[in-house]
Structure 1
Amino acid sequence: MAVTYTPARFADALARRLGQLLAGLVLYGSSMALMLRASLGANPWDVLHQGLTRHLGLSVGAWVTIMGAFVLLLWIPLRQRPGVGTIGNVLVLGAAMDLTLGVVEAPTGWPARILLLAGGIVLNGLATGLYIGARLGPGPRDGLMTGLHRRTGRSLRLIRTGIELVVLLVGILLGGTFGIGTVAYALAIGPLAQFFLRWCTVPTVGATGVREAARKG
């Protein structure tokens, strides 16, 4: 939905979008850490990050950052353009993840582990709605998916599934944690993200509103 903004409202909306983006990215990194601490299976990319940590050292969060930057390089031949949210994704997720891992201890007992996993998945859905709803650029992995879709004409579902399966397989071969949590995340994240996007998406500024705000500013 496009709306017309005065300069003040335009500045307020931009501030909200930036704040929402940062909150979403921090919560996303934290939610990944919670799922890891549950030790019931990570999401496909974190299975890969775990495997890389096991064989090459560095923290899981460091590999989140490194792989995000590497995937961003793959945007070049796809002619994708990063946004503020894209760069923020690379810089914030890994740091938030390592910080959370440093303060949250692994729970003991199945009930606590299941609750932590469930909380991490729901929090990840909220975080996805926040950072995507800010409309400041997709994450590197999402941009890779949309770029391949645009260049190949294949369906988004097929491309996303293919990327996730390749990443998961490599991660498993490297010793990353695959389990019920991986399956639960795959089944739940789509509906959760869709639900939270309804409440978190910031209305876009119509072209008329942008020109008028610029002229009056």
Structure 2
Amino acid sequence: MKLFSETFTIKTIPKVAWSSEDSFNLKPKPLTFIFLVFGLFLFGLGESLLITSGAGVGPYTVLAQGISNLTDWSIGFSTFVISIFVLFMWIPLKQKPGIGTILNAFIIALTIEFSVYYLPYPEAYPMQVLQVIFGILVIGLGSGFYLISNLGAGPRDGLMIGLQRITNMPIYSIRTTIEISVVVVGSLCLLNNIDKLLGEVVGLGTALFALGIGPSVALGITLVGKLSKQN
């Protein structure tokens, strides 16, 4: 019950013994760097589980699909534009990048690139849903490790941290609000292509991710923080 309460009330990323003192740290402690890489690997593995589940794509992929639908850009280029736009949103939030910001893209992409060949592609719908839930939990745990490392967040997590700082709202509620907003905007961009919207892009997995990733990230941060020696 205490863990449940802390998960839904945590507002800041805790500092532990292996956390970097500053996010812009080019020479972190070896343990800090190891936990950063481990967290990003778990994040990528969780994303791969969502991809191979076949139950619907994540919110930002919905948005990328929507932008592609309106502009004829490729999904990859649309995703790149979204990431750049989110990074520009960091400026008024005074969010600082770090080596984790750069490694975020490379490690997650490489993990997805290789792991999708070895993960299950369930055909039974209940197994697809279970795989989505497991993937969301893995992403949350990975987020806990890499964010507590304090070596720089990825574009989306940096937006979450920046908005939390200026609103003082719990982490889970900030992340959930962002994800739901992204799904809504992406879906609106796909309204003129309703078959694609309902048949290929948005599924139960999309809804589970939008509603579940906030609590999952907050749970991951809480667990990693509690299992590590606090500063």
When normalised by structure 2's length, the TM-score is 0.65
Whole-angstrom distance in 2 between the partners of 1:92 and 1:56 = 25
Report deviation, 1:105. 6.0
Distance 1:145 1:118, change over 3 A: closer
Report deviation, 1:18. 0.8
Match of 1:197 in 2: 221
Report deviation, 1:170. 3.0
Whole-angstrom distance in 2 between the partners of 1:2 and 1:28 = 20
Distance 1:154 1:195, change over 3 A: closer
Q: In the alignment, residue 177 of structure 1 is paired with which amino acid?
A: V
Report deviation, 1:162. 4.6
Match of 1:211 in 2: none
Match of 2:212 in 1: 188
Match of 2:155 in 1: 140
1:177-217 deviation line (CA, Å, top 9, x unaligned): 22222232234334433333344235576xxxxxxxxxxxx
Whole-angstrom distance in 1 between the partners of 2:113 and 2:78 = 10
Q: Which of 85, 94, 107 is residue 122 of structure 2 equivalent to? A: 107
Tell which deviates more after alignment, 183-192 or 18-27: 183-192
Q: Does 1:30 align with 2:38?
A: no
SS in 2 for 1:137: coil
Report deviation, 1:3. 5.9
Q: Which of 27, 35, 38 is residue 20 of structure 1 equivalent to? A: 35
Distance 1:190 1:20, change over 3 A: same
Match of 1:127 in 2: 142
Whole-angstrom distance in 1 between the partners of 2:229 and 2:38 = 18
Judge conservation of contact 1:48–1:167 (CA < 8 Å) in 2: yes
SS in 1 for 2:29: helix
Q: Does 1:56 align with 2:73?
A: yes
Whole-angstrom distance in 2 between the partners of 1:53 and 1:30 = 26
Whole-angstrom distance in 2 between the partners of 1:118 and 1:57 = 28
Which runs of 5 or more structure 2 residues have no equivalent in the other structure? 1-14, 19-27, 191-196
Whole-angstrom distance in 2 between the partners of 1:102 and 1:58 = 21
Judge conservation of contact 1:24–1:128 (CA < 8 Å) in 2: yes
Q: In the alignment, residue 192 of structure 1 is paired with which amino acid?
A: S
State the aligned residue count. Answer: 194
Match of 1:210 in 2: none
SS in 1 for 2:201: coil
Distance 1:138 1:21, change over 3 A: same
Which runs of 5 or more structure 1 residues have no equivalent in the other structure? 5-12, 206-217
Judge conservation of contact 1:65–1:90 (CA < 8 Å) in 2: no
Q: In the alignment, residue 87 of structure 1 is paired with which amino acid?
A: I
Whole-angstrom distance in 1 between the partners of 2:168 and 2:16 = 29
SS in 2 for 1:56: coil
Judge conservation of contact 2:90–2:159 (CA < 8 Å) in 1: yes
Match of 1:41 in 2: 56
Match of 1:118 in 2: 133
Match of 1:82 in 2: 97
Judge conservation of contact 1:49–1:64 (CA < 8 Å) in 2: yes
Identical pairs, percent: 33
Judge conservation of contact 2:46–2:136 (CA < 8 Å) in 1: yes
RMSD between superposed Cα atoms in Å: 3.4
Report deviation, 1:101. 3.4
Whole-angstrom distance in 2 between the partners of 1:104 and 1:53 = 28
Distance 1:185 1:133, change over 3 A: same
Report deviation, 1:22. 1.0
Report deviation, 1:28. 1.0
